[in-house]
Amino acid sequence: MIGVQETIEIVLIIIQIIILVGLFKIYYTNYRKVKIGFAIGLLLFTTILIMGNIFALVTLFTSKSFLPIVENSIELAGVAVLYYMARKY
């Protein structure tokens, strides 16, 4: 049985995934128009965050024991990509 807290977490994660997929579409359209490296960085950043959210969603239905470490690692990778792209461009 899924409790109220888990249900709220699931809804929030799904909303985040929907927003991130929307951002990915916008960034992809922009990349196709202008072909700049910064857009590739944004695509990669968005993809990493989507993967992190999918992982968090899957983990809610399995085991929570290793969620914080892996989730934080995925977020760190995403932020590192964003930082690198912001410094480069």
The DSSP string of 59-89 is: HHHS--TTHHHHHHHHHHHHHHHHHHHHHH-
> What's the distance, CA 11 to chain centroid?
15
Per-residue pLDDT tens digits for 57-74:
888 777 766 666 777 788
- Dist CA 57 CA 80 (whole Å): 23
Q: Give the pLDDT of residue 29.
A: 92
Phi and psi (nearest 5°) for 3? Answer: -85, 180
Per-residue pLDDT tens digits for 1-47:
677 877 888 888 889 899 999 999 999 998 999 988 888 989 999 99
Q: Quickly tell me which residue has 């977020």 as its tokens.
A: 75
Q: Give the pLDDT of residue 82.
A: 82
Helix (H, G, I), strand (E, B) or coil at 35: coil
Q: Give the pLDDT of residue 66.
A: 63
- Dist CA 38 CA 35 (whole Å): 9
Whether residue 89 is predicted with pLDDT greater than 90 in this model: the reply is: no
